[in-house]
């Protein structure tokens, strides 16, 4: 008798093909695969539950709202009918209607047209000749402000005066059609006077000027001795530029060459003014500028010299403290960073004692 085979164990959901694939693909144990399945199920329920449990939306019934809107519209219509006078509280002015409104302005009897002087008529006189009330008052007011009419063209330009009214009154106005042109002097017309000169130029030459004329034949003068007044005699040099020339001269200790004018701040972009200064100024031969002592000058005294400045002044003071006093100006070549061109510019303005 053949032995009875043992009963096969019942298969659970975690033995299904998807779970076996998960365990085989990711290397999960049976318990880890169960946890993953539970987590996925929980996420699915979290997504689906709000959709399934959402309450049913109420059905919109527009009848109640429509009824409320109808009642509101009726109230607005009734209110608009009651307050209709508010919209016309400030109506637009109809000037033509005002002209015909006999109750607002008294009627002025009309007179037959005859020659008249516009400068002698009152407002009632203009109205008696067919001019509207408000235009007549405007004509009189303008005439008083302008000192009287000079021509018919002035009356024609009055605001509010219709052209038909003006054409009817113009033949009877005792005024010329256009104002007479004023005689212009010969110089305004571009013609010289009897003496061959333009009167405007002759008058300007005779009238005193606020600014003194600069001399035409200026003699050269010493650049190191000139003050601002003397420098201002050169054409194009005003008080501002003259002060800068003197200020830079004081900072340097005196000019040793006319080319140093190119370094003045306000003359850098004015080559023509620099040329004028060089033409009318000179540096006296043998002039000795004010020099600073390299061995005794402090940092504050050194950096004020434009050719030294603060960086070079620090180097000179540091070198002097480390190596002792300078024996000659040539010792500046031992100072680091100082270039030969810098030393040559400083040479006239430094000394060693």
The CATH number of the domain holding residue 341 is 1.10.150.280
Check pLDDT > 70 for residue 10. no
Q: How many domains does the chain have?
A: 3
| 272 and 298 both lie in a single domain | no
Query: 257 to each of 218, 225, 247, 329, how far by Cα in Å?
Result: 21, 14, 16, 20
> pLDDT tens digits, residue range 315-351?
888 988 888 899 888 988 888 888 888 889 888 999 9
Is residue 88 over pLDDT 80?
Answer: no
Q: 255 and 312 share a domain? A: no
What are the structure tokens assigned to 210, written together?
């606020």
| Residue 144 sits in the same domain as residue 104 | yes
Q: Please answer whether residues 177 and 152 qualify as being in contact, where contact means their C-beta atoms are separated by less than 8 angstroms.
A: yes
Residue 96 has pLDDT above 60, yes or no: no
pLDDT value, residue 68: 84
Domain membership flag for residue 232:
yes
User: Do 225 and 263 share a domain, yes or no?
Assistant: yes
* Residue 8: predicted pLDDT: 59
Higher pLDDT, 13 or 120: 120
Domain that holds residue 278: 221-282
pLDDT tens, residue by residue, 60-78: 677 878 888 888 888 888 7
Choose from 98-107, 211-220, 289-298 the range with maximum mean pLDDT: 289-298
Answer yes or no: is 100 within a domain.
yes
Question: Do 319 and 337 have their domain in common?
Answer: yes
Q: Is residue 152 part of a domain?
A: yes
What is the pLDDT at residue 269?
84
Regarding whether 278 and 225 lie in a shared domain, the answer is: yes
Whether residue 105 is contained in a domain is answered as yes
In a domain, 302, yes or no: yes
Task: Say yes or no: 272 and 297 in one domain.
Answer: no
Please indicate, yes or no, whether the overall pTM of this predicted structure exceeds 0.85: no
Does 297 share its domain with 257?
Answer: no
Task: Let me know if residue 64 belongs to a domain.
Answer: no
Is 208 among the domain residues?
no
One domain, residues 298 and 329: yes
226 and 256 part of one domain? yes
- Final residue belonging to a domain, choices 172, 190, 212: 172
Boundary-marking domain end, from 172, 192, 209? 172
Write down the pLDDT at residue 247.
92
All residues at 6 or more sequence positions from 135 whose CB lies less than 8 Å from its CB, including other chains: 126, 158, 159, 160, 161
Decide which of 258, 282, 306 is a domain's last residue.
Answer: 282
pLDDT (0 to 100) of residue 243: 92
| Residue 49 counted as domain residue | no
Q: Which of 132, 88, 90, 73 is nearest to 107 (CA)?
A: 132
d(CA 125, CA 172): 13
Distances (CA, A) of 353 to 204, 276, 281, 287, 350: 61, 39, 33, 20, 10
pLDDT above 80 (res 85): no
Average pLDDT, the chain: 80
Lowest average pLDDT, out of 103-107, 128-132, 171-175, 252-256, goes to 103-107
pLDDT(102) > 50: no
Mean pLDDT for 257-267 is: 88
- At residue 45, does pLDDT exceed 50? yes
Beta strands in the chain (DSSP E): 221-222, 281-282, 292-293, 350-351
- 266 and 302 together in one domain: no
The pairing of beta strand 281-282 with beta strand 221-222: parallel
Tokens of 316: 């000179």
What's the distance, CA 225 to chain centroid?
45
Residues counted in the chain? 353
Segment 194-249, tens digit of pLDDT = 555 555 544 455 445 555 677 777 888 899 899 988 888 888 888 999 999 999 99
Confidence label for 250 from pLDDT (cuts 50, 70 and 90): very high
């Amino acid at each position: 008798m053949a032995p009875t085979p043992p009963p096969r164990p019942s298969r659970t959901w975690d033995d299904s093909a998807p779970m076996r694939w998960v365990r085989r693909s990711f290397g999960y144990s049976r318990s880890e695969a169960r946890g993953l399945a539970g987590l996925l199920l929980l996420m699915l329920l979290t997504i689906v539950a709000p959709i399934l449990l959402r309450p049913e939306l109420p059905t919109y019934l527009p009848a109640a709202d429509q009824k409320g809107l109808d009642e509101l519209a009726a109230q607005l219509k009734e209110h608009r009918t009651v307050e209709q006078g508010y919209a016309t509280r400030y109506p637009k002015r109809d000037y033509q209607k005002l002209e015909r409104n006999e109750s607002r302005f008294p009627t002025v009897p009309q007179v037959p047209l005859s020659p008249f002087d516009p400068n002698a008529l009152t407002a009632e006189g203009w109205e008696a000749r067919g001019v509207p009330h408000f235009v007549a008052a405007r004509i009189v007011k303008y005439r008083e402000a302008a000192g009287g009419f000079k021509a018919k063209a002035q009356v024609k330009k009055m605001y509010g005066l219709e052209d038909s009214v003006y054409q009817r009154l113009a033949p009877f106005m005792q005024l010329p059609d256009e104002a007479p042109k004023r005689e212009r002097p010969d110089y305004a017309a571009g013609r010289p006077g009897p003496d061959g000169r333009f009167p405007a130029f002759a008058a300007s030459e005779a009238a005193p000027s606020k600014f003194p004329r600069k001399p035409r034949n200026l003699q050269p003068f010493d650049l190191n001795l000139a003050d601002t007044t003397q420098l201002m005699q050169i054409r194009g040099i005003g008080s501002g530029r003259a002060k800068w020339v003197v200020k830079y001269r004081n900072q340097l200790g005196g000019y040793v060459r006319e080319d140093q004018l190119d370094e003045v701040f306000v003359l850098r972009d004015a080559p023509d003014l620099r040329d004028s200064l060089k033409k009318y100024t000179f540096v006296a031969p043998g002039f000795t500028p004010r020099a600073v002592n390299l061995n005794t000058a402090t940092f504050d005294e050194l950096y004020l010299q434009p050719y030294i400045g603060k960086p070079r002044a620090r180097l000179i003071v540091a070198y002097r403290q480390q190596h002792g006093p300078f024996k000659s100006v040539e010792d500046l070549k031992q100072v680091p960073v100082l270039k030969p061109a810098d030393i040559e510019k400083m040479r006239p303005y430094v000394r060693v004692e």
